[in-house]
Structure 1
Amino acid sequence: MNWRMTRYTYWMVLAVLSFGPEAAGATWHVDDSNTSAPWTGADWDNPFQYLQDALDAATAGDTIKVAQGTYHPDDATQNHTEGDRSETFLMQSGVVIQGGYIGYDNESPPPDTRDWELY
């Protein structure tokens, strides 16, 4: 009986662990009105200024939150030539991009406020 109980417990623990939630990906922030460093992208206080920088940092499972503004693929801190109209955004597979955020320089409403018709 003890052996059966141990085996049953083992399989139950294995089943519970196999259906557990996956680790959440990182969330990156982008706001083109952030003209002063640091541009870590980790939060609305230090968002990336350029969308391509967030795309370069993101990996599958991550989310990129983009504040109101105009973003060009030739704007980035590395490996891009400003004014090059042949540049394109280099997308990452499995990365979610969400737009319509008010952004980091607004205290009211909070920067995570999302309304894609207004922002």
Structure 2
Amino acid sequence: MRIKVTSPGMDIKQSEIDQIEKDLEKIGRRLSSYEEVEVLVRAKNHSPSAHPKVHITMELDYGRNHLVAKADDDDIFVAVRQARGDVLRQINDRSRGGHSSFAKGT
């Protein structure tokens, strides 16, 4: 799995990037049957007075699938984990026997 973290206008340390990559390992395990898995994480600061302060956009490409998840929080790691959870739900919905309303026939 290839992971790219960008943060225009933000100062992210290498240790923070390492933690983000560690948080995304769950996606890699879930998609281990795919040869090419790419994750792009964009972190953006809202204005200092804004609440929440960090906006995360996560894009995931695997097979013919392109998924996007967004999350906002004051803590970058919380926002990344929220976006990761959304991506994992989307993966489950697309898999055979997924839990989406489409899969349930409603």
The normalised TM-score by structure 1 is 0.25
**Structure with the higher fraction of residues in helix conformation:** 2
Larger Rg: 1
